[in-house]
C-alpha cells in the first residue's frame, strides 16, 4: 500500500471508519467468533438498547438525590472500537461503552449528560467531582483502586501488535522488548506496565526499551506504520480489530487480562445501583446482545463486581 494511503488508513483506525473489535483467548492468531463484520469494515447498527426497561430493584439502590434529579454526568473517552468512537459523520458516538452506559442508564431510569473527555483526564476529574461516572476501557488495577471505585462489565486486557516484518513472534516477558521502541497510549495501564518494568533490561545488561506515548490513538498506529515504533501495546480488543483492517500488521498475543469497569470517585454511593443494573442486563439478555453486536462475546464476565482485586 502506498505510504500516503497507508498513513491515512492508519488514521482511520480511530476515527470514522472504525466499527468492530473481537477479543478472546487461545490461539492469538485466530480470528475469534463474531469477527466477520470487522473484516468487512462495517459499523454494527443493531439497536440493542432502546428496548431496555427500568429495573425497580436496581433503581431503588440509587441515592435519593440522584433518583429525584433523574440525571448523571458521564465522561466518555473516545478512541477506538469496540469501546467508543465517532461514526463517519464525526459527531455520532458508537461502541460497546456507549451501549453499556446507555443500557445501564435505562435500567436505572436515568438520563446521561455525556461529555467527551480525554482518557488521561477522566479519572482525576472523577475525584474532583466534575463527573459522576466515566467510561474509557478503564482496567481495574491495584493502583487505581486506591483512588477510584469500579463496577465491572467486561474483561479485556493488554496485548501487542507489530508490522509483518518484525522478528517478534510472541511477547511473554517484557525483556523480549529490550532495545526496541514501544508505542502506547498516554496515561494507560500499558504505559504504567512498561515504565515499571523497563529497568529489567538494564538489570540484565541489555539496552532498555524506549516507551513512546501518544494521547491520540491514531498517532500510536501511525508511529508503527512509519517505523517510529517497533511494537504497539494496547487493548486486546482494539489490536485484534486493527490488524483485520490493515495490510502488513500482526496481532502477537494477549499479555495480561484485566477487568474493565465504570469508574467513579472513591466511596461513591452509585456503585451498588450500577452493579445491580449490569447484572440485570445479564439476566434479560441485553448484556450478551451488546457483546455479540461488537464481536466481543469472549470478553463476558460472569457477574459484575465492585472494585475486585486486580487480575494477576
Q: Is 239 within 8 Å of 213 (Cβ atoms)?
A: no
What is residue 42's predicted lDDT score, i.e. its pLDDT?
A: 65
Place of cell 433518583: 67
The mean per-residue pLDDT over the stretch 86-92 comes to 90
Whether pLDDT at 200 is above 70: yes
| Residue 45 pLDDT | 86
Q: For the chain, how are helix, strand and coil distributed in percent, rounded to 5? A: 35, 20, 40
For the four alpha carbons of 102, 294, 311 and 279, in that order, the dihedral sign comes to positive
Q: What is the reported pLDDT for 19?
A: 31
H/E stretch holding 56 reads: helix 56-59
Give the C-alpha separation, 70 to 233, whole Å: 39
CB-count burial class (<10 Å; 0-12, 13-18, 19+) for 115: middle
Q: What's the rounded mean pLDDT across residues 30-56?
A: 67
Per-residue pLDDT band at 75 (split at 50, 70, 90)? very high
Q: What is the pLDDT of residue 228?
A: 96
Beta strands at 71-76 and 133-135: parallel, antiparallel or unpaired: parallel
Distance of CA 177 to the CA centre of its chain: 23
CA-based nearest residue to 193, from 260, 240, 142, 120: 142
Q: How confident is the model at residue 3 (pLDDT cuts 50, 70, 90)?
A: very low
CA distances from 43 to 46, 124, 161, 226, 303 (A): 9, 32, 23, 27, 28
Q: What is the mean pLDDT of residues 67-89?
A: 90
User: Which three three-digit cell numbers place residue 169?
Assistant: 513472534
Instruction: Give the burial string for 162-196 (b: 16+ CB within 10 Å, else e).
Output: bbeebebeebeebebbbebbbbbbbbbbbbebbee
DSSP class per residue in 144-157: HHTTEEEEEEEEEE
Tens of pLDDT, residues 222-235:
999 999 999 999 98
Peptide bond into 82 cis (omega under 30): yes
pTM of the complete model beyond 0.85 = no
How much is the pLDDT for 1? 35
Where do we find the cell 499479555?
A: 255
Express each pLDDT in 21-37 by its tens digit: 323 223 222 333 333 33
Q: How far is CA 229 from the centre of its chain?
A: 21
pLDDT classification of 152: cutoffs 50, 70, 90: very high
Number of Cβ atoms within 10 Å of the Cβ of 117? 18
CB burial of 202-240 (b: ≥16 within 10 Å; e: otherwise) equals eeeeeebbebbbbeebbbbbbbbbeeebbbbbbbbbbbb
Beta-carbon count within 10 A of 303 CB: 9
Q: Which three cell numbers stand for residue 74?
A: 458521564
pLDDT given at position 23: 30
Bridge-based pairing state of the strands 148-163 and 93-94: unpaired
Which residues are registered as beta bridge partners of 265? 148
pLDDT at 80: 75
Average pLDDT over residues 7-27: 35
Amino acid at each position: 500500500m502506498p505510504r500516503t494511503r497507508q498513513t491515512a488508513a492508519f488514521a482511520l483506525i480511530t476515527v470514522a471508519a472504525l466499527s468492530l473489535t473481537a477479543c478472546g483467548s487461545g490461539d492469538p492468531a485466530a480470528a475469534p467468533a463474531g469477527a466477520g463484520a470487522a473484516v468487512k469494515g462495517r459499523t454494527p447498527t443493531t439497536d440493542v438498547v432502546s428496548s431496555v426497561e427500568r429495573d425497580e430493584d436496581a433503581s431503588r439502590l440509587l441515592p435519593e438525590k440522584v433518583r429525584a434529579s433523574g440525571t448523571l454526568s458521564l465522561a466518555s473517552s473516545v478512541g477506538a472500537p469496540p469501546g467508543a468512537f465517532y461514526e463517519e459523520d464525526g459527531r455520532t458516538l458508537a461502541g460497546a461503552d456507549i451501549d453499556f452506559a446507555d443500557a445501564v442508564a435505562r435500567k436505572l431510569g436515568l438520563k446521561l449528560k455525556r461529555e467527551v473527555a480525554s482518557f488521561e483526564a477522566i479519572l482525576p476529574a472523577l475525584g474532583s467531582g466534575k463527573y459522576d461516572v466515566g467510561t474509557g476501557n478503564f482496567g481495574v488495577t491495584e493502583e487505581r483502586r486506591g483512588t477510584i471505585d469500579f463496577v465491572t462489565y467486561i474483561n479485556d486486557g493488554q496485548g501487542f501488535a507489530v508490522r509483518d516484518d518484525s522478528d517478534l513472534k510472541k511477547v511473554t516477558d517484557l525483556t523480549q522488548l529490550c532495545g526496541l521502541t514501544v508505542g502506547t497510549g498516554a496515561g494507560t495501564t500499558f504505559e504504567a506496565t512498561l515504565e515499571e518494568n523497563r529497568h529489567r533490561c538494564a538489570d540484565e545488561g541489555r539496552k532498555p526499551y524506549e516507551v513512546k506515548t501518544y494521547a491520540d490513538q491514531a498517532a500510536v498506529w501511525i508511529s508503527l506504520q512509519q517505523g517510529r515504533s517497533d511494537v504497539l501495546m494496547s487493548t486486546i480488543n482494539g489490536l485484534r480489530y486493527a490488524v483485520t483492517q490493515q495490510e502488513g500488521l500482526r496481532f502477537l498475543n494477549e499479555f495480561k487480562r484485566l477487568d474493565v469497569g465504570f469508574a467513579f470517585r472513591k466511596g461513591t454511593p452509585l456503585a451498588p445501583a450500577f452493579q445491580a443494573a449490569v447484572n440485570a442486563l445479564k439476566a434479560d439478555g441485553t448484556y450478551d446482545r451488546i457483546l455479540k453486536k461488537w464481536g466481543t462475546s469472549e470478553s463476558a464476565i460472569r457477574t459484575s463486581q465492585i472494585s475486585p482485586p486486580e487480575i494477576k
